[in-house]
A and B are shown apart, each in its own frame.
Chain A
């Protein structure tokens, strides 16, 4: 596809069966189960695998560069090929929620969707508790386009669901480099991660 799938600390690997045990543990963990991707559902690991494949045709496990350990999942859902828009869904291991570096996987995925697959617009939906956790970075980079008020039930309270967007025009101005702090030299984008080539 010609876009990098490896960052400084995170790499994207196309979702495979070997990733699923770790991702199942993450998705069913306390504090995660109510959110994406299970949204409160209970399922066994076999059902989980089928469920993930039904949700998305473009998804990657986020893994640590140093160990290969899966730390989360990024998915493109509700793909709208006609209008060139897609929603990004993310789940990260709870123990890493306070660490900023896993978001590098989201940035890599966004670049894959824009530069690799040619999408024009990305959407990110997040409840208030997640928005607070991610912090001001969200408001600085993304555009808030919709707030569904008191929309999702989390820990007994109804939270707003904010829908943010990111246009490719903004990405092409060099946002990737600004966000990651990396200048991508000519030719690097032609390099494909070994895991993607396999």
Chain B
């Protein structure tokens, strides 16, 4: 497995997997149909760092992003879109990605937000992810049915 820069043509596979793969809040379609503009926006707007992860034979298995950086507070959002078939390998490369980002950027911590039935954050981040909140009944799943949104923090000192 390897990771590397995201290029414009990656928007093609991202659009296909957005609704199927494990995903954090930012990369969740939430019922929308992904237009080319929307996907381009997800890959370009407010993104400070991002990598794609591929298998050795060239199949994409994850998109890693650091977005919405607040340089005054030293915080940002970690966004993750990942094929659950490759969780273990992705998590190792994710840790490397985070280490690079914390080294390069003036960040103290990242937060990741995910609906509990869309992404199991600890399976990708292990003890790096500290749970700090649960937004109860946040995300609509149907008439009178809602899922919780979980919030985690990842601190620079735990990664580097």
Contact, CB under 8 Å: B73 / A153: yes
A40: interface (CB < 8 Å): yes
Bound: A39/B139 CA distance, A: 28
Contact, CB under 8 Å: B31 / A82: yes
Interface stretch (choices A24-32, A60-68, A109-117, A143-151): A143-151
A19: interface (CB < 8 Å): no
A137 CB to closest chain B CB (Å) equals: 21
Give A40's nearest chain B residue, CB to CB. Answer: B72
Question: How many residues does chain A have at the interface if contact means C-beta atoms less than 8 Å apart?
Answer: 22
Q: Digit string of A116-139 for contact with B (CB within 8 Å is 1, else 0)?
A: 000001010000000000000000
A165: interface (CB < 8 Å): yes
A84: interface (CB < 8 Å): yes
Contact, CB under 8 Å: B72 / A145: no
A167: interface (CB < 8 Å): yes
Cβ contacts under 8 Å, B111 to chain A: 148
Which residue of B108, B133, B137 contacts A121 across the interface (Cβ within 8 Å)?
B137
B93 CB to closest chain A CB (Å) equals: 26
Q: Digit string of B119-156 for contact with A (CB within 8 Å is 1, else 0)?
A: 00000000000001111111110000010000101000
Contact, CB under 8 Å: B153 / A148: yes
Cβ contacts under 8 Å, A158 to chain B: 73, 108
Cβ contacts under 8 Å, A123 to chain B: 135
B65: interface (CB < 8 Å): no
B30: interface (CB < 8 Å): yes
Cβ contacts under 8 Å, B138 to chain A: 83, 85, 121
Give B130's nearest chain A residue, CB to CB. Answer: A149
A175: interface (CB < 8 Å): no
Contact, CB under 8 Å: A83 / B73: no
Given contacts A82-B30, A121-B137, contact A149 B132 (CB under 8 A): yes
A113 CB to closest chain B CB (Å) equals: 16
Cβ contacts under 8 Å, B74 to chain A: 153
Contact, CB under 8 Å: B153 / A165: no
Cβ contacts under 8 Å, B140 to chain A: 82-84
B75: interface (CB < 8 Å): yes
Contact, CB under 8 Å: B135 / A151: no
Given contacts A40-B72, A82-B30, A153-B73, contact A147 B137 (CB under 8 A): no
Bound: A151/B72 CA distance, A: 10
Contact, CB under 8 Å: B137 / A167: yes
Cβ contacts under 8 Å, B109 to chain A: 150-151
Interface residues of B in 13-53 (CB under 8 A from A): 30-31
Contact, CB under 8 Å: A146 / B73: no
Bound: A85/B147 CA distance, A: 13
Interface residues of A (CB under 8 A from B): 39-40, 82-85, 121, 123, 143, 145-153, 158, 163, 165, 167
List 17 extra interface pairs beyond A145-B133, A150-B108, A153-B72, CB under 8 A: A39-B72, A40-B72, A82-B30, A82-B31, A85-B138, A145-B134, A146-B132, A146-B134, A147-B132, A148-B153, A149-B132, A150-B109, A151-B73, A158-B108, A163-B151, A165-B135, A165-B136
Would you give 15 A-B contacts (Cβ < 8 Å), ordered by A?
A82-B30, A82-B140, A83-B138, A121-B137, A146-B132, A146-B134, A146-B151, A148-B153, A149-B132, A151-B109, A153-B72, A153-B73, A158-B73, A163-B151, A167-B137
